[in-house]
Amino acid sequence: MAEQMIEAAAHKILYILVVEQSLRAQESMSAKALAADLQRHGISDDDQRAGLALALSKGWLQMGADGAVQLTDAGFDLNFNQ
């Protein structure tokens, strides 16, 4: 999978959390609900996993104790174009 596709998937995750779901830093969304939104946007399961892994490694997201995807300050403050 191309690095550009992975980066696009990571940015789409952040777009969904910040713009569509109106989450703020330290708020979270269930992984299942996020996956459904990503499917609706045409993001494949493989791209979802790779994008999530990238966003986690960059500190944009973290996993909550309940398995939810939590937006970090860095992820919320990220300036990206969709």
Q: Domain residue spans in the chain?
A: 3-77
Given a cut of 50, whether residue 54 has pLDDT beyond it is yes
16 contact partners, CB below 8 Å, separation of at least 6: 29, 34, 37, 38, 41
Given a cut of 90, whether residue 2 has pLDDT beyond it is no
- One-letter identity of residue 74: A
Given a cut of 70, whether residue 34 has pLDDT beyond it is yes
Domain 3-77 -> CATH class: mainly alpha
What is the pTM assigned to this prediction?
0.89
| Contact (CB, 8 A) for 44 and 8 | no
